[in-house]
Structure 1
Amino acid sequence: MNGFTSFNDTWFQQLHRLVQQLSSCPKHPTTTEHQHHLLHVINKVMSHYAEYYSVKSLAAEHDALSVFVAPWATTLERSLHWIGGWRPTTAFHLVYSEASIHFEAHIIDILRGFRTGDLGDLSPAQFRRVSELQCETVKEENAISEELSEWQDGVSELMGSSSDLDVKTGLLTSVLKKADDLRLRTVRKVVDLLTPQQAVEFLIAASELHFGVRGWGITQDRHRNNFF
């Protein structure tokens, strides 16, 4: 698992650099060239996420139990985890939160009929699609949670033969992969329903939330270790 921990650290550093590229994108793209640039950077970020879950899937096949407890994460991050990672529906809460922040920041312009083009300027069709996706994702989350519950209910079987243990571990691997697949698909679907400008804002906000939680978690872990 040291191999994936090292990969995770490198991946996280690369995400920082990609977010810097997102932040340097034009705030209000006005040309086709600007739009293409935004799409190019968005695709780089999405490929970065896809790589993460591809490598994590291989790690789960090798050691599902370690991937489930995520030793590379801070204590705070693990307390927020749902099946080895962030809960997919967090993406929708982030969209609503960012939409509210942007709307309030530009409310005068919006009331005057000016289109800001940012997350505060989501159309009724976009809000409807976000709501539909949220409902779909909640159903999938619940189904995967039920699979994990069934796996946990069979904990007594872990005391059987090694072949029984292999079967049970294989089932956990399947649950982990389904959870990660839902995480990646959720981000992709949210990005797809947004304009390039909105997608950039969403990806920056998602990354900053990730950075913030991890940074706070590292500080808390260091304080805890020094205390004990």
Structure 2
Amino acid sequence: MNIFQIESRMNSFDRVYGGWLEQLRHLVDQLAAAPKPPTTADHHHQLHHLVSKFMDHYAEYYRTKAIAVDRDVLSILAAPWITALERSLHWIGGWRPTTVFHLVYTESSILFESHIIDILRGHRTGDLGDLSPSQFRGVSELQCDTVREENAITEELSEWQDGMSDLMAASSNLEGKIGKLGAIVQKADDLRLKTVRRVVELLTPQQAVEFLISASELQFGIRGWGLNLSNGPQ
């Protein structure tokens, strides 16, 4: 592959990511405008539809990324379409799956404290600050499972990196090694998507909307900080 082919592929995914991110902003606006708390069956249906639409958008991103990883995993890991700050926070080509749980617990604590008087009076708010014991248990169990899978993938990457010393050997199969790296990145992406899906399944539609908005705002915020750093004094 020559430099022009590499640049073409990088620019292609750059455009894909830019369009995906723009559509994500539109979806977040729709989530923010949805009725909360839902008071009618139509409201519940609307929230469920928006959450499904949002998750389909996430799944489409990872389907497209999987094709790009298969073609050129090194360019995907380099990720020139995002900021240096975003790359510094990456774990194997994307956000660390366990970040999801920190976000859920943080948002739940903030909302719980803001509604604590109502909650003590027995009023249910229905938001992330009103997670039930079974929901907390489900999130905790999922967190433990995710930590184990995350650690296993990290170990697999570590073994791949240790094995790269074999490149000095004349018989080294570089293409095969790069292919294995792509498989590791794919495992990481599969875990990212699976984690979000399983968290959303544990939440009510209202709570899922709040969670997805918070996750997106975090992503937009980090990107914004990264852009400001890039455009700041040199």
Question: Into which bin does the TM-score normalised by the smaller protein fall?
Answer: over 0.9
TM-score, normalising length from structure 1? 0.96
Percent pairwise identity: 65
Instruction: Find out whether 1:37 has 2:46 as its counterpart.
Output: yes
Distance in 2 of aligned mates of 1:155 and 1:68: 17
Q: Is the Cα–Cα contact under 8 Å of residues 98 and 147 in structure 2 kept in the other structure?
A: yes
**Which residues of structure 2 form unaligned runs of 5+?**
1-9
Deviation digits for residues 31-68 of structure 1, max 9, x if unmatched? 11101100111011100000000111100001011112
Q: How far did residue 157 of structure 1 move?
A: 2.6
How far residue 222 of structure 1 moved from its aligned partner, in angstroms, is 1.5
1:157, 1:165 within 8 Å by CA — same for their partners in 2?
Answer: no
TM-score by length of 2: 0.94
The one-letter code sitting in structure 2 at the alignment partner of 1:129 is: G
**How far did 1:161 drift?**
5.8
Tell me whether 1:149 sits opposite 2:152 in the alignment: no
In the alignment, which residue of structure 2 is the partner of 1:76?
85
Q: Provide, for residues 137-192 of structure 1, a one-character-per-residue CA deviation record: whole Å limited to 9, x for no partner.
A: 00000000011001100122334569711100000000000000000000000000
Structure 1 segments, 4+ long, off by >4 Å, are 159-163
Q: Which runs of 5+ in 1 are unaligned?
A: none
Deviation for aligned residue 1:9? 0.6
State the Cα deviation string for residues 188-212 of structure 1 (Å, max 9, x = none). Answer: 0000000000000000000000000
In structure 2, what is the equivalent of residue 105 of structure 1? Answer: 114
Deviation at 1:69, TM superposition (A): 2.2
Q: Determine the structure 2 residue equivalent to 1:139.
A: 148
Q: Partner of 2:71 in structure 1? A: 62
SS at match of 1:115: coil
Structure 2 SS opposite 1:154: helix
Specify which of 177, 191, 208 is matched with residue 200 of structure 2: 191
SS of residue in 1 equivalent to 2:223 = helix
Letter in 2 for 1:7: V
The root-mean-square deviation of aligned C-alpha atoms, in Å, is: 1.2
Distance 2:169 2:14 in 1: 31
Alpha-carbon separation, structure 2, partners of 1:157 and 1:184:
33
Query: For residue 46 of structure 1, what is the amino acid of its counterpart?
Result: M
- How does 1:1-228 map onto structure 2 within 5 Å? 1-160=10-169, 164-223=173-232, 227=234
For 1:212 and 1:206, the matched residues in 2 are separated by 10
CA distance in 2, matches of 1:190, 1:170: 31
Alignment partners' CA distance in 2, 1:76 and 1:161: 38
- CA–CA distance in structure 2, aligned partners of residues 162 and 113 of structure 1: 70
